[in-house]
Structure 1
Amino acid sequence: MPSASPSSASPSSTSPGRPEAGLEPLSVDVTIPHHPVEDVLGVLTGTFLASLGLYLLQMAGAVTGGTAGLALLLTHGTPLPFAVLFLLVNVPFFALAVWKKGWAFTIRTVICVALISGFSLVHHHFLALGHVPLVYAVVGGNLLVGVGLLIIFRHRASLGGFNVLALILQERAGLRAGYVQMAMDVVVILLGALVMDWPRVLLSALGGVILNAVLALNHRPGRYRA
């Protein structure tokens, strides 16, 4: 019996690994949301790291940007602890978060701000630091805050304040959250000249660049699927 010629092959047959003629290859575009337990653990991890970074900065007498930087600055002139000041300076931004981001995002943000304040008290109690070299505190502290913020952002929350405004501008105007945050942080750090010497202010500014470079290089819309 003669063998079939190539032209007599079934029209439905195709080469392995190649789509049929006229059919588009299937694309996989699946977003897997975080499980609630993952959100809880992620928020706890992110706020712990960020609060530890802020604690290093506070112990060295340095500042950073955002409402955390404002709270650190206010500790120089008021008797209130950082934990209380951080909550107070974020209150006006909670209304902005409700208006632009919704109640779910705002509730997560309030929880994150409260956790930062709570963890700052824990660090003071369990991690009694003596002299912390300024350069180490500025570099290490801002890296910790930056990584903590990345984790918090990935779980659809923020640390309030400028973070909320930066995320809104990124989503509505296409501006990088890290660059927006950097511009606002510069203003806060320059205000540090009112209570600190210039070498400390300049080092704090370097720390702000480090923190926001971490955000700008890693927090981009559409880069991650989860």
Structure 2
Amino acid sequence: MSTIKKLLFVLLGLVITSLGIKILSNSLLTFGGTAGIATILTYVTNISWGVLFFIVNLPFFFISIQELGKWFTISSLLSITGISFIREGLDLWIPAFDINIILATVIAGLLIGFGVTFVLNNGSSLGGIHILGLYIDKKFGLNRGIVLFVCDSLIILFAVAIVGWYKGLLSIFCIFIASTIIGRYKKSPIKEMERDQEEHYLRQNVH
């Protein structure tokens, strides 16, 4: 797959994921992973979600640069920066709106699931738990969808004290939907990049 096409798919994934997170926030729900951590921190600080999301993800890049490669790490860093800006922009472009909370849970889960899948399957990630999931998938062959669901559910438990049990359970259901999609349609971005590098090497040495 060409680099430009991959970049377009990653960008599409960032926009779709940002919209899903926007719907969750609008319904006072939350998500797992570093997105959930950033959301929780917005309740106790005056720092914006985008800035917090970027900061929270930084430690995970030490794992990425050592285990998943330089280019994957750079791509993920760009995706983190991109979704931070897109998410902030959606708050400016899309006003608050009312939607049934259960419907919001399902729609957000679908959007985040397919959005993250676009990002992951095209050689990038949204940092944090996604990097951890890819590392465990690569190292031990454990489905990254399962890793994401378990880790995200644990993080949600900490958010329950803020959003309440009902919204906490709905948030877990949203995570379940998203994680199921991610696990179902997964590819290995690491193998994709290795194959692209091999094809590039062969093209250079044919002549």
Distance 2:43 2:105 in 1: 17
Cα offsets for 1:138-168 (capped at 9, x unmatched): 1111211110111111111100000001011
Q: Which amino acid aligns with 1:210?
A: I
- Checking the alignment, whether the CA contact within 8 Å between 1:142 and 1:207 is kept in structure 2 is yes
The correspondence for 2:66, drawn from 74, 99, 105, is 99
The correspondence for 1:86, drawn from 53, 60, 63, is 53
The correspondence for 1:199, drawn from 141, 152, 166, is 166
| Rg larger for | 1
Determine the structure 2 residue equivalent to 1:56. Answer: 23
Which structure's residues are more often helix, by fraction?
2
The correspondence for 1:176, drawn from 130, 139, 143, is 143
Cα offsets for 1:2-56 (capped at 9, x unmatched): xxxxxxxxxxxxxxxxxxxxxxxxxxxxxxxx21111221111011111111111
Q: Which amino acid aligns with 2:92?
A: H
The correspondence for 1:143, drawn from 104, 107, 110, is 110
Determine the structure 2 residue equivalent to 1:39. Answer: 6
| TM-score, scaled to structure 2 | 0.88
Determine the structure 1 residue equivalent to 2:122. Answer: 155
Distance 1:188 1:44 in 2: 27
Structure 2's unaligned 5+ residue stretches are 197-207
Distance 2:121 2:185 in 1: 11
Cα offsets for 1:39-75 (capped at 9, x unmatched): 2211110111111111111111101111111111111
- Checking the alignment, whether the CA contact within 8 Å between 2:121 and 2:187 is kept in structure 1 is no
Structure 1's unaligned 5+ residue stretches are 1-33
Runs of 4+ in 1 over 6 A off after TM superposition: none
1:166 aligns with 2:141: no
Structure 1 position 131, deviation (Å): 2.5
Q: Which amino acid aligns with 1:64?
A: F
Structure 1 position 180, deviation (Å): 0.8
- Checking the alignment, whether the CA contact within 8 Å between 2:134 and 2:144 is kept in structure 1 is yes
Distance 2:9 2:187 in 1: 19
- C-alpha root-mean-square deviation of aligned residues, in Å? 1.7
1:74 aligns with 2:41: yes
For the structure 1 residues 221 and 158, does the alpha-carbon distance in structure 2 shift closer, same or farther, using more than 3 Å as the test?
Answer: closer
| TM-score, scaled to structure 1 | 0.81
